[in-house]
Structure 1
Amino acid sequence: MYFISYLLFHLQVLVADSDKLAHPLAEPWAELVHLVQQKGSYSHIITSSSSFGKNILPRAAALLNVSPVTDVVEISGPRLFIRPIYAGNALCTVRYTGLDPCMLTIRSTSFPVPPVSSESRPNAAPISQVDLSTFSEDNLSKSRYVKHTSQETERPDLGSARVVISGGRALKSAENFKLIEKLAEKLGAAVGATRAAVDAGFVPNELQVGQTGKIVAPELYMAFGISGAIQHLAGMRDSKVIVAVNKDADAPIFQVADYGLVGDLFELIPELLEKLPEQK
């Protein structure tokens, strides 16, 4: 999470060291944002549109009595932003006219990392400890950390992968979904899924791509057995190249695909696995 003051060239790293912040619980982190803003009077507070950011920022905004601007894909000015609406089918320009701080969640996939010149020199930023002596604990008992589980895999992270292979409900079972995983391993890709596939128990929730899942924009997105519901398209339509495979020639996914193949995925994926070379 980033705090920005009007003095844009004054960089500072804030460190909050407390056991209460050891786990990603929304209540203590929102309280921390509230505390830091009260002391620093920042003009902007920005975080990514991840599950973590979406969980914290609205709560912190409520504590600060401001309205956040979410899912920003372009910054046109200090208080002028562009964000998608209608599941990504339209873009809306929003001007923030409220009090400071202006609070944003941004889709990181919409902001490519600029090239770094060999002549550029990093600016050292001072590191300061946040004074937590006035840290309120009134709301910290509303939730408690139980455990953290994640899928152990050597595949790239779904949110930042260059190639994503996704499957839908047409795969019919968790056993069949292993075809997607085998293809992903061969291409060095991340695995994604539709909400229908997640709800059916084929894969865990962390692999869901879409409006209520992860937003991805890889260089290559391959969709197998995905019809193309607008909720799913909202999570992957910014991909550089989209390849769709579906046996329904009228599936909406073909309207956004750069390359489409009408066919049975249970025949096509084994053929791809056979003909694609192993990743080096």
Structure 2
Amino acid sequence: MARSFGLEFLPAGGPKRFTYAELQAATDNFSNPIGKGSFGDVYKGELGDHRVVAVKCLKNVTGGDAEPEKGQKILVYELVPNGSLDKYLFPASQIPSLDKQEVLIPRSTDSLKPILDWNIRYRIALGVARAIAYLHEECLEWVLHCDIKPENILLGEYFCPKISDFGLAKLRKKEDMVSMSMARGTRGYMAPEWLKPDPVTPKADVYSFGMVLLELVSGVRSSNMQGSLVHSEDWHPRWAFDKVFKDMKMDDILDRQIKHCFDNRLHFDFIDRMVKAAI
């Protein structure tokens, strides 16, 4: 079991702590950037045992454990091969389909990503739901993620989803809510209670997950809808509800990249389930 999960590489005392020199060597002096985020830049690296890793250099972060040399705070992750979900849902240009029923010309080789079919999207939705349930109910300490969005959903081998960048709020298991001094999250995914004096509960993560579900179905960013506010007629959940359950026109909300692949007999039930769960 230890080998299957890669745990034989972990020292008995917990995760390995690296020196700055080790990470500088592993990343070839931080010369291969593979991502940027609000908390820092990410670089590709290779450890001495040839494991490929993602090295995140944190910025504008205070507190926490002791820093490595040179005043740096750096996190080392496994490198998840297929990158983040947003690159597949919101491509910069049209790209070839996984089922190879059509071939579209990409704008550049950097944007060459397969289009996720309906079955893969449903499996991703289930995997993310299981991960959130684990953070909220099953791990030893209750964890509120605070920023569920496609950029923080990484896709491993066979597009198995993994949630990243969690732990902004980590609470004792007995607690069921938290008051924050500042709103945390990303526009379009933040639950209304972040903007009120109300306590924040795990429901905030569930709200964000609902928005991700709608994006998996529609291929449209919630924040890019004409009205991204709750009271707007074009608010993503209200728009989806009206299309699917009032007008009975599910086709109108399907991602145009794979709309032609939709088979009512094969796909209706789980897309209907995703939309109902989101709403």
Shared fold (TM-score, shorter chain, > 0.5): no
**Larger RCO (CA within 8 A; separation ≥ 6):** 1
Structure having the higher Rg: 1
Between Structure 1 and Structure 2, the one with more helix by share is: 2
TM-score by length of 1: 0.27
